[in-house]
Amino acid sequence: MPLFDKPLPELHEYRPERSEPADFDLFWRDTLAKAETDPLEPAFVRYDAGLSTVEVWDVRFTGFGGHRIAGWFLAPREVAGPLPTVVQYLGYQGGRNWPIDWLVYPAAGYAVLVMDTRGQGTDTADPDPGANPQVPGFLTRGLVDRDSYYYRRVFTDAVRAVDAARTHPIADPARIVVAGGSQGGGIAQAVAGLRTDVAAALIDVPFLTHFRRAAEMVDKTGYGEIADYLARRRVPPEDVFGVLDYFDGVNLAARATAPARYSVALMDAVCPPSTVFAAYNHYRGPAEIDVWPYNGHEGGAQVQRMRQLRWLGETL
Amino acid sequence: MPLFDKPLPELHEYRPERSEPADFDLFWRDTLAKAETDPLEPAFVRYDAGLSTVEVWDVRFTGFGGHRIAGWFLAPREVAGPLPTVVQYLGYQGGRNWPIDWLVYPAAGYAVLVMDTRGQGTDTADPDPGANPQVPGFLTRGLVDRDSYYYRRVFTDAVRAVDAARTHPIADPARIVVAGGSQGGGIAQAVAGLRTDVAAALIDVPFLTHFRRAAEMVDKTGYGEIADYLARRRVPPEDVFGVLDYFDGVNLAARATAPARYSVALMDAVCPPSTVFAAYNHYRGPAEIDVWPYNGHEGGAQVQRMRQLRWLGETL
Amino acid sequence: MPLFDKPLPELHEYRPERSEPADFDLFWRDTLAKAETDPLEPAFVRYDAGLSTVEVWDVRFTGFGGHRIAGWFLAPREVAGPLPTVVQYLGYQGGRNWPIDWLVYPAAGYAVLVMDTRGQGTDTADPDPGANPQVPGFLTRGLVDRDSYYYRRVFTDAVRAVDAARTHPIADPARIVVAGGSQGGGIAQAVAGLRTDVAAALIDVPFLTHFRRAAEMVDKTGYGEIADYLARRRVPPEDVFGVLDYFDGVNLAARATAPARYSVALMDAVCPPSTVFAAYNHYRGPAEIDVWPYNGHEGGAQVQRMRQLRWLGETL
Amino acid sequence: MPLFDKPLPELHEYRPERSEPADFDLFWRDTLAKAETDPLEPAFVRYDAGLSTVEVWDVRFTGFGGHRIAGWFLAPREVAGPLPTVVQYLGYQGGRNWPIDWLVYPAAGYAVLVMDTRGQGTDTADPDPGANPQVPGFLTRGLVDRDSYYYRRVFTDAVRAVDAARTHPIADPARIVVAGGSQGGGIAQAVAGLRTDVAAALIDVPFLTHFRRAAEMVDKTGYGEIADYLARRRVPPEDVFGVLDYFDGVNLAARATAPARYSVALMDAVCPPSTVFAAYNHYRGPAEIDVWPYNGHEGGAQVQRMRQLRWLGETL
Amino acid sequence: MPLFDKPLPELHEYRPERSEPADFDLFWRDTLAKAETDPLEPAFVRYDAGLSTVEVWDVRFTGFGGHRIAGWFLAPREVAGPLPTVVQYLGYQGGRNWPIDWLVYPAAGYAVLVMDTRGQGTDTADPDPGANPQVPGFLTRGLVDRDSYYYRRVFTDAVRAVDAARTHPIADPARIVVAGGSQGGGIAQAVAGLRTDVAAALIDVPFLTHFRRAAEMVDKTGYGEIADYLARRRVPPEDVFGVLDYFDGVNLAARATAPARYSVALMDAVCPPSTVFAAYNHYRGPAEIDVWPYNGHEGGAQVQRMRQLRWLGETL
Amino acid sequence: MPLFDKPLPELHEYRPERSEPADFDLFWRDTLAKAETDPLEPAFVRYDAGLSTVEVWDVRFTGFGGHRIAGWFLAPREVAGPLPTVVQYLGYQGGRNWPIDWLVYPAAGYAVLVMDTRGQGTDTADPDPGANPQVPGFLTRGLVDRDSYYYRRVFTDAVRAVDAARTHPIADPARIVVAGGSQGGGIAQAVAGLRTDVAAALIDVPFLTHFRRAAEMVDKTGYGEIADYLARRRVPPEDVFGVLDYFDGVNLAARATAPARYSVALMDAVCPPSTVFAAYNHYRGPAEIDVWPYNGHEGGAQVQRMRQLRWLGETL
Neighbours of chain B (3+ CB pairs under 8 A): A, C, D, E
Catalytic pick from D116, D157, D182, D282? D182
Chain E residues with CB-CB distance to F124 below 8 A: 133
Share of residues in chain B with pLDDT > 70 (%): 98
C37 CB-contact burial (10 Å; exposed 0-12 / middle 13-18 / buried 19+): exposed
Smallest Cα distance from D241 to chain F, Å: 37
Q: Could you tell me the residue range of the domain that residue C281 belongs to?
A: 8-315
CB D175 within 8 A of CB D84: yes
pLDDT at D251: 98
Q: Kindly determine whether residue F124 and residue E136, on different chains, have CB atoms separated by under 8 Å.
A: no
Across chain A, mean pLDDT equals 95
Residues of chain A with C-beta less than 8 angstroms from the C-beta of C305: none
Q: How confident is the model at residue A27 (pLDDT cuts 50, 70, 90)?
A: very high
- Contact D309/F at CB under 8 A: yes
Whether B109 contacts chain C with CB within 8 A: yes
Instruction: Determine, for residues B234 and E303 on separate chains, whether the beta-carbon distance falls below 8 Å.
Output: yes
Least reliable range by pLDDT among A63-72, A133-142, C218-227, C252-261? A133-142
Check whether A269 has a pLDDT greater than 60: yes
CATH of the domain at F60: 3.40.50.1820
| Contact call for C and B: 3+ CB–CB distances under 8 Å | yes
For chain E, the chains sharing at least 3 beta-carbon pairs closer than 8 angstroms are A, B, D, F
Residue F68 sits at φ, ψ, to 5 deg, of -85, 130
Q: Which of B31, B94, B28 is nearest to B64 (CA)?
A: B31
Residues 201-220 of F with CB under 8 A from A: 215-219
Burial of F26 per CB tally in 10 Å (0-12, 13-18, 19+): exposed
Residue A276 in 3-state DSSP? Answer: helix
Task: Return the number of CB contacts < 8 Å for C and F.
Answer: 28
Q: For the ranges B70-84, D132-146, E103-117, F21-35, which has the lowest average pLDDT?
A: D132-146
Provide mean pLDDT across the span A8-29: 98
Angle at F99 between CA F97 and CA F100, to 5 degrees: 100
Of the residues C64, C116, C132, C221, the best mutation for testing chain D's interface (the one with the most D CB atoms within 10 Å of its CB) is: C132
Q: For residue A216, give the nearest of C3, C295, C300 by CB distance.
A: C3
H or E, element range at A260:
strand A260-265
* D275–chain B nearest CA distance, Å: 15
> Which residues on chain F are in Cβ contact (under 8 Å) with D105?
none
Within a domain: residue A1? no
Interface contact flag, E98 A309, Cβ < 8 Å: no
User: Which chain E residues are Cβ-neighbours of B226 within 8 angstroms?
Assistant: 294
DSSP state of C188: H
Asked if the C-beta of A230 comes within 8 angstroms of chain C's C-beta atoms, the answer is: yes
Task: Tell me, yes or no, if A268 is annotated catalytic.
Answer: yes
Q: Is B294 on the interface with D (CB under 8 A)?
A: yes
Judging contacts by C-beta atoms under 8 Å, the chain E residues touching residue D267 are 219, 227, 231
Taking phi first (over 0 means left), then psi (-120 to 50 degrees means alpha), and beta for anything else, what does residue F78 get?
left
**What chain E residue is nearest to A105 in terms of C-alpha separation?**
E51
Please classify residue E221 by burial: count the beta carbons closer than 10 Å to its beta carbon, then call 0-12 exposed, 13-18 middle and 19+ buried. Answer: middle
Residue C59's region, left for phi above 0, alpha for psi from -120 to 50, else beta, is beta
Catalytic annotation, pick one of A168, A210, A282, A297 = A297
E15 to chain A, minimum CA–CA distance in Å? Answer: 35
Q: D133: distance to nearest CA of chain C, Å?
A: 4
Chains that contact F by 3+ CB pairs under 8 Å? A, C, D, E
The sheet with strand E200-204 has its strands ordered as E43-46, E54-62, E68-76, E111-115, E83-88, E171-181, E200-204, E260-265, E287-292
Which member of F116, F204, F228, F268 is catalytic?
F268
pLDDT per residue over E140-186, tens digit each? 999 999 999 999 999 999 999 999 999 999 999 999 999 999 999 99
Least reliable range by pLDDT among A36-40, A121-125, E136-140 = A121-125
How much is the pLDDT for E134?
80
* Euclidean distance between CA atoms D75 and D90, whole angstroms: 19
C122: nearest CB among D118, D125, D133:
D133
Q: What is the pLDDT of residue B130?
A: 63
**Interface check D316 vs E, CB under 8 A:** no
Across the interface, whether the CB atoms of C103 and B103 are under 8 A apart is answered yes
Question: Does the beta-carbon distance from A294 to F218 stay under 8 Å?
Answer: no
Closest to D204 in 3D by CA, of D110, D125, D303: D303
Mean pLDDT (10-residue bins), chain C, 316 residues: 92 98 98 97 96 96 96 92 95 93 97 94 75 82 93 98 98 98 98 97 98 94 94 93 98 98 97 98 98 97 96 95
Residues at the binding site of F are 92
The string of pLDDT tens digits covering residues A152-198 is 999 999 999 999 999 999 999 999 999 999 999 999 999 999 999 99
Q: How far are the Cα atoms of A105, E121, E151, F69, F293 from residue F140, in angstroms, in the given order?
A: 35, 14, 22, 21, 31
Q: To the nearest whole angstrom, how far is the Cα of E13 from the nearest Cα of chain B?
A: 21
Q: Does a structural domain hold residue A212?
A: yes
3-state secondary structure of F155: helix
Interface B–D counts its CB contacts (< 8 A) at: 28
Whether chains A and C touch (3+ CB pairs under 8 A) is answered by: yes
User: Would you give the DSSP letter of residue D145?
Assistant: B
The 10 Å Cβ neighbour count of residue E7 is 11
pLDDT-above-70 percentage for chain D: 98
Contact F171, F83 (CB under 8 A): yes
Do chains D and A meet with 3 or more Cβ pairs nearer than 8 Å? no
Average pLDDT over residues E122-140: 79
Q: Do C231 and F2 touch (CB under 8 A)?
A: no
Range 70-89 of C in CB contact (< 8 A) with B? 76-77, 79
F274 in active site? no
Q: What pLDDT score was predicted for residue D135?
A: 83
Q: How many domains does chain E have?
A: 1
Shortest Cα distance, chain E CAs vs residue D294, angstroms: 5
What is the biggest distance separating any 2 CA atoms in chain B, rounded to whole angstroms?
58
**Cβ atoms within 10 Å, residue B118:** 26
Dist CA A81 CA A174 (whole Å): 12
Per-chain mean pLDDT for chain F: 95
What letters, b where the CB count within 10 A reaches 16 and e where it falls short, cover F230-264?
A: bbbbbeeeeebbebbbbbbbbbbbbbbbbbbbbbb
D4 CB near a chain F CB, below 8 Å? Answer: no
Q: How far apart are the first and last CA of chain C?
A: 37
Quick one: average pLDDT of D152-175? Answer: 97
Judged against a pLDDT cut of 80, whether residue B133 lies above it is answered with no
Identify from C4, C135, C210, C230 which residue to disrupt to test chain F contact, counting F C-beta atoms within 10 A and taking the largest count: C230
Above 60 in pLDDT, residue E129? no
Mean pLDDT of chain D: 95
- Asked, for residue D2, whether it belongs to a domain, the answer is no
What's the mean pLDDT in B245-261? 98
The per-residue pLDDT for F129 is 56
Residue A2 belongs to a domain: no
Instruction: Name the residue among B300, B311, B266, B255 with its Cα closest to residue B12.
Output: B266
Alpha helices in chain D (DSSP H): 8-13, 24-36, 104-107, 150-167, 183-194, 211-217, 224-233, 237-244, 249-253, 273-280, 301-315
From the list E51, E101, E109, the residue facing A302 with the nearest CB is E101
In a domain, E151, yes or no: yes
Distance from the D131 Cα atom to the nearest Cα atom in chain B, whole angstroms: 22
Q: Which of A157, A147, A150 is nearest to A26 (CA)?
A: A147
Answer yes or no: are the C-beta atoms of D92 and D222 closer than 8 Å.
Answer: yes
D301 Cα to chain E: minimum distance (Å): 10
**Strand ranges in E156-311 using DSSP code E only, listed in sequence order:** 171-181, 200-204, 260-265, 287-292
Residue B35 belongs to a domain: yes
- Asked whether residue C163 is assigned to any structural domain, the reply reads yes
- Residues in chain E closer than 8 A to A83 (CB atoms): none
Q: What is the DSSP letter of E132?
A: S
For residue D64, being part of any structural domain is answered with yes
Chain-chain contact of C294 with A217 (C-beta, under 8 angstroms)? no
CB distance A215–C292 less than 8 Å?
A: no
List of chain A residues whose C-beta atoms are within 8 Å of the C-beta of residue B93: 136
